[in-house]
Amino acid sequence: MINEEKVLKQIERELSRAKQASDSETRRAHMRAISSLTELVLDDSETEDTQKAATAQPTDAETLELQKMIGNSYQPHSKTPTSKPKNDADPYGQGSGSLLDF
Q: Output the pLDDT for position 60.
A: 74
Q: Output the pLDDT for position 81.
A: 52
pLDDT per position as a tens digit, 38-75: 998 888 877 666 666 666 666 777 777 777 777 666 56
Range of 20's domain? Answer: 4-56
* 97 Ramachandran zone, left/alpha/beta (phi>0; psi -120 to 50): left
With respect to residue 71, please indicate whether it lies within any of the assigned structural domains.
Answer: no
With respect to residue 73, please indicate whether it lies within any of the assigned structural domains.
Answer: no
With respect to residue 42, please indicate whether it lies within any of the assigned structural domains.
Answer: yes
With respect to residue 32, please indicate whether it lies within any of the assigned structural domains.
Answer: yes
pLDDT per position as a tens digit, 22-38: 999 999 999 999 999 99
What is the distance between the alpha carbons of residues 84 and 91, in angstroms, rounded to a whole number?
8
Number of domains in the chain: 1
User: Mean pLDDT over residues 1-24, rounded?
Assistant: 91
What is the distance between the alpha carbons of residues 85 and 93, in angstroms, rounded to a whole number?
9
With respect to residue 16, please indicate whether it lies within any of the assigned structural domains.
Answer: yes
With respect to residue 41, please indicate whether it lies within any of the assigned structural domains.
Answer: yes
Please report, as a single letter, which amino acid is at residue 49. Answer: D
34 and 15 Cβ atoms separated by less than 8 Å: yes
Q: Output the pLDDT for position 27.
A: 94
